[in-house]
Amino acid sequence: MKILITGGAGFIGSNLAKRLVNDGHEVVVLDSLLRGNKLDKDTFAKVNFIKGDVRDLELMISASKNCDLIFHFAAVLGVDIVADNPVETMDVEVIGTRNMIEAANINNVKKVMYASTSGIYGHSAFENVLTEEVLVDPRTSYAMAKRYNEIYLASHHQEKGLNVVSLRFFNVYGGNQDNRMVVPLFFEQAIANESITVFGTGKQTRDFTYIDDTVESCVKLMDIQGCHIVNIANEAEWTIAELAVKIKEVTKSSSEIIYLEAPKKRYDYEVERRVGSSEKLMSLTNFKPQTSLQEGLELIYNQNYNH
């Protein structure tokens, strides 16, 4: 297949590009390099790389020419960055996705896979795990724009028959991630034997999904027709305090774990509990994420720090 990945130089996109190239696909990456280039040398040499912005319609049309599938992953993210740049965040989501759809229509692309977020669940009520059916509660510019795009894409399926998968990623983590996210930040602090900084009580929970499982889920969903919203989750709930302890242990660090009051701008993002069901993913693909947090953290340590 010929596949366009917007945001393909980012953390998830670069890992997906590597996998798709290895699987023999022709891959086009469009990325503004806002966050630098996470594609490894080998993959970079094998993709058709286009530096540019998803808000540029002409560029999106030329990038998606003759493509069978678009992974639309370009986004502004990271709690502090989004909190400081809500307009830019929403513009990239809304204008970028509109351009992506227009380009897909013009070039007769049959399927798009969009990176949504578990953030749209916000403070949704749930019992054991969040299923895709619970009432969502997007409160931030980022989550609201992601939810809007899920519905916008579903509308294109309804009216125009476009095949659509919206992927609700739950805290993806892995080796080449940067410290906007909690796992690489704690690693960095632990390796330097500096204080590991937990915001709030540390009792807030998250569901951490290892990058290889995330990529595998994306690949497995490439064949699915129709319109679907799918959690990409590990179905395991860990507190942030437990995460800090685990990273301290894995890195054999002498860091102290300290608890700080979260800055006010982070309040909208401070969700008490989040853990996702991967039942729907399993029913569609016969696959669900399987790397435990312990295994994933050890993989990161062994691949990046244990020399």
Q: How far is the CB of 237 from ligand NAD (least distance, A)?
A: 16
49 binds ligand NAD (CB under 6 A): no
136 binds ligand NAD (CB under 6 A): no
Nearer to ligand NAD, 17 or 250 (CB): 17
Closest of 277, 281, 270, 284 to residue 126, by C-alpha: 277
Of the candidate residues 27, 67, 70, 75, the single one contacting ligand NAD (CB under 6 A): 75
Beta pairing partners, 69: 3, 111
Of the candidate residues 3, 5, 67, 74, the single one contacting ligand NAD (CB under 6 A): 74
32 binds ligand NAD (CB under 6 A): yes
Residue in 114, 121, 142, 152 annotated catalytic: 142
Whole-angstrom distance, CA of residue 176 vs CA of residue 16: 12
Beta pairing partners, 130: 276
Site for ligand NAD, residues 85 to 104, rule: CB under 6 A: 92, 96
53 binds ligand NAD (CB under 6 A): yes
Which one of the spans 9-17, 237-245, 265-273, 289-297 is the region binding ligand NAD (CB under 6 A)? 9-17
The residue type at 220: K
Q: How far is the CB of 162 from ligand NAD (least distance, A)?
A: 19
13 binds ligand NAD (CB under 6 A): yes
* 139 three-state secondary structure: coil
Annotated catalytic, 142? yes
198 binds ligand NAD (CB under 6 A): no
DSSP letter for each residue of 32-94: --TT---S-HHHHHHSEEEE--TT-HHHHHHHTTT-SEEEE------HHHHHH-HHHHHHHHH
Nearer to ligand NAD, 9 or 250 (CB): 9
55 binds ligand NAD (CB under 6 A): yes
Q: Where are the alpha helices (DSSP H) in the chain?
A: 11-22, 41-46, 57-63, 79-84, 86-106, 141-160, 182-191, 211-221, 240-250, 279-285, 293-304
Nearer to ligand NAD, 75 or 103 (CB): 75
Which token pair is 280?
A: 């729907």
Whole-angstrom distance, CA of residue 156 vs CA of residue 164: 8
4 binds ligand NAD (CB under 6 A): no
Longest CA–CA span in the chain (Å) reads 58
Which one of the spans 3-11, 99-107, 182-190, 249-257 is the region binding ligand NAD (CB under 6 A)? 3-11
Count of other CB atoms within 10 angstroms of residue 171? 21
Q: How far is the CB of 252 from ligand NAD (least distance, A)?
A: 26
Q: Which residues are designated catalytic?
A: 142
